[in-house]
Structure 1
């Protein structure tokens, strides 16, 4: 090989690995012994790599040890915090010196303002504040290690929160008094029921009034296509005329699609159909070990592209509005960039809902992603064939453990308060698995190496670029999203230069998207970037775009109308090529 050829080969972008997860390009005769041991350890730790956590703690400790000046600052902060706490304790009625984060609701009950509970809660918040400072601004310490140590410190402190114990939580005391202790008996019964449920590995039945296909995920429609990966649902029209361009929804495969089709009153799909749109939605299957070798490319080619082919069969000779939610938006972006590269012009618009294309600021979920962690998870998935729903859910709960773990446990087991079922709660418990190969590729190529916006993501051996996408874009971020932080979602503006609307709406990753018209106390901001306009940073954008009361759904519908043609008669379900395979919501959504 000559020097020019060798240089060309070295500079070629890295494509997603094609080798199956169970194969090793450099086989070692005893490698599987190591993988089996690591997989067993991973099951004991819930998929969290002890090597990654211990190395972060060691990194933090070693850098702090060699920084005596920083140690003195932390000692002074501890003394100052103690002085504030004593001053607060000795001056009844004074303002609390320490405040909980906006998302932490543990100490908001008015009884926490009375002694001695006010002092205990303030002591806890002072300790949280000190650890926040102690894990940051350490000379030489990398950001990832600092954030991980802070996360672990927060997890440990949450265990000892005064809100977790009957004698130090005034809400528990009041509840026990009002029920003459019956709350503890009720809580013990709930705990026993939960233990039995976990031990049996059987999901609980849907609560009364929340049955999938009857009460939720009940927008009328037909399954018109099915392959190994997904079912495609075409929803029945609700208007005499419809927009000529259909809407194809690509949900995330980490969740059941019906987050967008909950109860009829807050179903985005039902609302879209009611506005005169022909709506198609992908319903991903819940994979088992048999689908371990499904790849990220399978989800693009046999998922998004195959669904698009079917939609174009049913509604021929017209372009398609596409919508991607969460990871569905990421794979839709990859598909759209590939189509732009290859001259495929079937897309009318692209809407991305809480979807990231750049993963350098992907929020606290990055705490679970580094080389050690990805290798650890890969070994666990290698043995199982998938990432289990409970293993994924554990990571998301840990990010907001104070609310999703401890507050729930206190109310349920110590106060005997049964949670009222909601459609979103039922959906949240109806989790899915992730195929081993696909999830390993996703973590490595997107989260760990950020190939898509680094110009190194290749499809069919050729690199794709988001800037090649020229169809109009509608991007939605949510204010309190800890899975896809809005500033990360906003970065789509950095890597595209076409016509783009950006919306920032109140709520979190799910609640901000399920924000139907009439939902109380909702607001949003919206801005338009014409094609070729200069970039505006997110902080400046936030300052210059005022809040609007109401739902962003209505803005989106107006935007879709602007980019649609004349109204036509509704298309026949399945067209002439795809007869009905059954009623919506289909069979894949029922898989456990």
Structure 2
């Protein structure tokens, strides 16, 4: 007799389940074979990575065991708290209310589901995890005798382990995942496994987690859409001139230099949050550098080449196209570091064409690089150089993963849970699409940058580095400069960026915005978010500066716009045509360089 019981909503039919499992099995086998083949050629590097990570923990263990009393006290405090948790949990199971022994931090979104509070079992799991995490944190932090760099490494990797072991990352201990698994009769796990296999395949055997719907965006269609023309190009850059959006424009054109680790369109996302569009609306003539996505063909490109073929070549083109000898410049992150090098080079040459400079979340003094310091000791740089040497460049995905690790709960584990455990598709988000669109970096250039800037901190020293035959001395920069940093920036900490203005000789202004490295910068006035601080006090002490600063509501763009208006020169008629006879338009913006992806270089 046929079973006519209706299928539960969301449940997989037997034939669909069989087909899905068969497809998964076939894909899995191919991925395993590819992974094993790759490991045979890269195994020695994997072993070196593991040894490099284990050494700091060996040193920490030796230091911790040298002070058994402190270790015993830490363990006793943990067990006392755990005993209290057990007692309180027992009371809750019997129907009595009890105060939590430990609670998540205010910004911890992992435990936002009401189940973590209302259900005694999951409340116990949550608090057990938080107590254990706190115990590990304190044990590591309170160990004495470690040098600062080793302590930082141990702390970073301990937090990475703690984040990975969160109960939210496992099916059996995440109430939201369990609830969905019951509702869909496991369909979410089947979909999640398919999502994981697709990400593994896209990453060439490495897990390349999708943070957004990659099919929802297309460069030039719904991101990087501000009208313009590519008016110059060489082996490293395309130069975009944007169509003016006002009848009159400031005489001095503006050249934007983005970081080459990501695509330029962070400054030209959707029209509602496009910095480029906003600058055009303020009456500026805007030019943008769009970096090439390098392959093995560009392996020999150096940091010096990035200066000569980047900002310097672009400045020459901008001057010729506009007929203005003067211009202002903007550098974002690494682009700001390169801009500072370029200005010092121009100063050495007696070239004073740049009349104003803006540095966005940019380090010039690398003494306090934040948690990125974990990845830049001699041992790890040597390993990185061997990896780059094999291909001639650093793969964009590797650097993107490094940055994501700095905010693992937000940029790794939240998507792991959403995509693989819940089986959901990531939400379309232009900022995360851009974040997934990293670029490769030539081996010679990247090695020079890591060693001379991050490791040796030579840029701040007069003559510490030499580019194109000129010793670079930042103190020779007399250009009026505007420094903007973000209070929660984990890539260019404001403890470090606050030192930048002290290295220049010209008038400087330092502004601190809210939020982080991206959202803090890309913060159009229409959002009226985060606020910002300004102060005229010249100091490298964060507390001292903040105490003297005045807070303003809204976007820092409002303050920057006033500063730029004074530096832009008189208003003139906007050009009717883009480019010039010497630099005719090559193609429409956003150009072809920006469309080259790191995971499919042309």
User: Is the shorter-chain TM-score for this pair beyond 0.5, marking a shared fold?
Assistant: yes
User: Do the aligned partners of residues 121 and 318 (structure 1) sit closer, same or farther apart at CA in structure 2, a change above 3 Å counting?
Assistant: same
Shift of 1:354: 1.2
**Structure 1 residues 461, 96: closer, same or farther in 2, change over 3 A?**
farther
Rounded Cα–Cα distance in structure 2 between residues aligned with 1:85 and 1:373: 42
**TM-score, normalising length: structure 1:** 0.87
Q: Which residue of 2 aligns with 1:258?
A: 265
Secondary structure, in 3 states, of the residue corresponding to 1:518? helix
Which has the higher mean CA deviation after the structures are superposed, 279-288 or 162-171? 162-171
Does the alignment pair 1:585 with 2:552? no
In 2 relative to 1, CA 94–356 (structure 1 residues): closer, same or farther, beyond 3 Å? farther
1:305-324 matches, within 5 Å, as: 305-324=312-331
Distance 1:56 1:200 in 2: 28
- 8 Å CA contact 2:250, 2:285 repeated in 1: yes
Of 552, 561, 567 in structure 1, the residue corresponding to residue 571 of structure 2 is 567
Alignment of 1:274-289 (within 5 A): 274-289=281-296
Q: Partners in 1 of 2:51 and 2:201 — Cα distance?
A: 32
Unmatched segments (≥5 aa) in structure 2: 1-38, 598-602
1:156 aligns with 2:158: no
- Alpha-carbon RMSD across the aligned residues, in angstroms, is 2.6
Task: Tell me if structure 2 keeps the 8 A contact 1:389–1:431.
Answer: yes
Contact in 2 for aligned 1:217/1:261 (Cα 8 Å): yes
- Counterpart of 1:10? none
SS in structure 1 at match of 2:256:
strand
1:500 correspondence with 2:505: no
> Shift of residue 517 of structure 1?
1.6
- CA distance in 2: counterparts of 1:203 and 1:99, whole angstroms: 29
* Deviations 1:397-450, CA, capped at 9 Å, x for gaps: 222222222221111122122111111122112111010110111110111111
1:279: how far off? 0.3
**Paired residues for 1:193-208 under 5 Å:** 193-199=198-204, 207=214
Q: Is the 8 A contact 1:289 1:385 kept in 2?
A: yes
- Tell me the distance in 2 between the aligned counterparts of 1:525 and 1:181: 50
2:365 to 353, 358, 372: 358
Per-residue deviation at 1:318?
Answer: 3.8
Q: How big is each residue's C-alpha offset from its partner over 1:215-273, in whole Å with a ceiling of 9 and x where there is no partner?
A: 11111111110000100000011111001111100001100111111111111111111
Tell me which residue corresponds to 1:336. Answer: 343
Shift in CA distance, 590/568, structure 1 to aligned 2, threshold 3 Å: same
**Larger deviation, residues 275-284 vs 130-139:** 130-139
Q: What pairs with 1:39-50 in structure 2 (closer than 5 Å)?
A: 40-41=42-43, 44=46, 49-50=49-50
Report deviation, 1:154. 2.1
Deviations 1:84-133 (A, max 9, x none): 53465356555444344555321122221131212211221222222222
Range that drifts further, 378-387 or 143-152: 143-152
Change (3 A) 1:180 1:131: same
What residue is the counterpart of 1:393 in the other structure?
A: 400
Distance 1:49 1:176, change over 3 A: closer
Superposition deviation, residue 575 in structure 1:
3.0
CA 1:82–1:306: 2 relative to 1, 3 Å = same
Deviations 1:364-407 (A, max 9, x none): 11111100000000011111110001211221222222222222
Q: Do the aligned partners of residues 538 and 84 (structure 1) sit closer, same or farther apart at CA in structure 2, a change above 3 Å counting?
A: farther
List runs of 5+ in structure 1 lacking aligned partners: 1-36
SS state of the match for residue 116, structure 1?
Answer: helix
Q: Is the 8 A contact 1:38 1:376 kept in 2?
A: no
Which deviates the most, 117-126 or 70-79?
70-79
Whole-angstrom CA distance in 1 between matches of 2:291 and 2:117: 49
Q: Is the 8 A contact 1:38 1:379 kept in 2?
A: no
Q: Does 1:58 align with 2:58?
A: yes
Q: Does residue 1:453 correspond to 2:457, yes or no?
A: no
**For 2:521, which of 513, 529, 534 is the aligned residue?**
513
Per mean C-alpha deviation after superposition, the further-off stretch among 318-327 and 110-119 is 110-119
**Pair 1:176-2:181 in alignment:** yes
Residue 540 (structure 1) aligned with residue 540 (structure 2): no
- In the alignment, does 2:474 pair up with 1:472? no
1:322–1:351: 8 Å Cα contact kept in structure 2? Answer: yes
Q: Give the structure 1 partner of residue 308 of structure 2.
A: 301
Contact 2:228 2:590 (C-alpha < 8 Å) held by counterparts: yes
Measured in 2, the distance between the counterparts of 1:84 and 1:96 equals 9
Whole-Å Cα distance in 2 between the matches of residues 453 and 302 of structure 1? 23
User: Aligned in 2, Cα 1:285/1:42: closer, same or farther, shift over 3 Å?
Assistant: farther
Query: Does the 8 Å CA contact 1:230/1:284 hold for their aligned counterparts?
Result: yes
**SS in structure 1 opposite 2:310?**
helix
Alignment of 1:203-214 (within 5 A): 207=214, 210-214=217-221
The CA distance in 2 between the partners of 1:267 and 1:325, in whole Å, is: 14
TM-score (norm 2): 0.86
Aligned residues: 551
Contact residue 478 and residue 506 of structure 1 kept, 8 A: yes
- TM-aligned CA distance change 1:90 to 1:43, over 3 Å: same
Q: Does 1:402 align with 2:409?
A: yes
